[in-house]
Structure 1
Amino acid sequence: MTAIGAAVSLPQQLADALRARIRAKEWAPGEKLPTEAELVAAYELSRATVRQAIKDLESQGLVVVRHGRGTFMSPHGGIHAGMQELTSISSSIAEMGLTPSMKYRRRTIRSANDDELVEFDLERGAKVLDIQRKILADGVVVAYSYDILPRWAFPETFKASQLRGSVFGYLAEHNGPRPTRAVAEVHAVRSDIIGWDDDEGEDKLYVLLDQLQYDDHGRPFMHSRSFFLEGKFNFTVIRTH
């Protein structure tokens, strides 16, 4: 029998427990997971709780639900993320049991240009943080990210060199804006100027996630253009009626 605690909702606890088993590679890609009845018995939870937990995993693209047949691990390798989720790339990588890291090409505080003044509703002369970084999973590059944030999102004493990991994580630790909504566009891009270092000049196919993040006051505070290497990062969109 598997124990479930009481710190958060039961569906979330079960989803977390199953994600841990997925990270441990208990099931291979395409392999069938325990049935709903087996999960109910193993965790001593209701069918409604099990179904909600499975739905959470499905929204991340970790599992595929085939009605009448059961729940199966996603047949695709790589990293999975639900496009409707407001989580950092680093968090998505860590949830797959991989180690996220990043290497910066630029971390600069500079004057906002005309487009940025309008986008972030800034006064002329305001500053922004300009970030260019490549994001790795277990040492393998999976994305190149170009991010712009208004200077007000950070503490007064902030220096660009202090940012060494997840932007969302840094903001959360320093009482910065919290993402509650995003407007995103997705494009397929083939380019030889996105990557740098070993990838410089290589013509590659990317999935561009171009999104503007808003905080709980409705203020835009982060414009990200993340170029994911095709086949390295898998996005899922769950549509319901």
Structure 2
Amino acid sequence: MDPQADPFDERCAITVLRSRASLPQQLADDLRARIKAREWAPGERLPTEAELVAEYGLSRATVRQSIKDLAGQGLVVVRRGLGTFMAQHREIHAGMQELTSISATIAEMGFTPSMRYRRRTIRDATDDELAMFNLDPGARVLDIQRKILADDTVVAYSYDILPRWVFPDDFRAGHLRGSVFGYLADHDGPRPTRAVATVHAVRSDVVGWDDDAGEDNLYVLLDQLQFDDRGRPFMHSRSFFLEGEFNFTVIRTH
């Protein structure tokens, strides 16, 4: 395949008082940090509800909700009458409604994110891209192809297009080495506040590349256009998540 081609405790209680996050969210965040630090081994039992209540100085209801959140992410398994245990095999879970970078999601789940670029090119925008981003004729875009890894395992391939105006005047394609959102945040670029996305199941032998690309891989394609706080479209992403490596959840309410 042509690489240029495009295939389509009290401590916690004090912290909570200083934060806008809810008590269960604060506790879940702290427990996630401890999980990320490998405080508990796979299959090991976590402290009991009573122990967490005593350690953090929070209510039993708060502890239960936090544990429920961690279980929903696949980090822990709750066994009735036995306790809460670390999952034997960690998987990456993300809420379909969450507007966060892939790298941030991977890190939150306790994995080490990294990426390898196949392509970083500043080029003239196509007619479709001019229309998509409301650009003037002759405008340029950054065209990115990259694979995203968690603990050195490929979990997604992403094809991204961003208008050149998004980046500083002295920007060069090679300056981008990690998370796009992270780079923009560090350089006063636009930040995502809304996205319009579609989801598709895709079976393809041309999405991925290198030795880890199978002949007939199954992907979950998240095709989305990101908007900033001024309503400007600034990033179009087609991220192909390998089935079984990256799992999405959808929160539905009445």
**TM-score (norm. length: structure 2):** 0.81
Asked whether 1:101 is paired with 2:114, we answer yes
For the structure 1 residues 200 and 79, does the alpha-carbon distance in structure 2 shift closer, same or farther, using more than 3 Å as the test? Answer: closer
Q: From 207, 215, 218, give the equivalent of 2:231.
A: 218
Asked whether 1:14 is paired with 2:27, we answer yes
Question: What residue number does 1:26 align with?
Answer: 40
Deviations 1:189-222 (A, max 9, x none): 1100011111456221111111111111111111
Q: Quick check: 1:149–1:222 contact (8 Å CA) kept in 2?
A: yes
**Partner Cα distance (1:215, 1:189) in 2:** 28
Question: What residue number does 1:179 align with?
Answer: 192
Q: Which residue identity is paired with 2:40?
A: E
For the structure 1 residues 51 and 182, does the alpha-carbon distance in structure 2 shift closer, same or farther, using more than 3 Å as the test? Answer: farther
Shift of 1:129: 0.7
**Partner Cα distance (2:72, 2:138) in 1:** 42
How many residue pairs get matched?
240
Q: Quick check: 1:61–1:81 contact (8 Å CA) kept in 2?
A: no
Q: From 107, 126, 129, give the equivalent of 1:116.
A: 129
Q: From 156, 160, 171, give the equivalent of 2:173.
A: 160
Alignment gaps of 5+ in structure 2? 1-8
**Partner Cα distance (2:231, 2:50) in 1:** 43
**TM-score (norm. length: structure 1):** 0.85
Shift of 1:78: 2.0
Percent of residue pairs bearing the same amino acid type: 75
Question: What residue number does 1:207 align with?
Answer: 220
**Partner Cα distance (1:191, 1:205) in 2:** 7
Shift of 1:73: 6.2
For the structure 1 residues 3 and 138, does the alpha-carbon distance in structure 2 shift closer, same or farther, using more than 3 Å as the test? Answer: same
**Partner Cα distance (1:127, 1:234) in 2:** 34
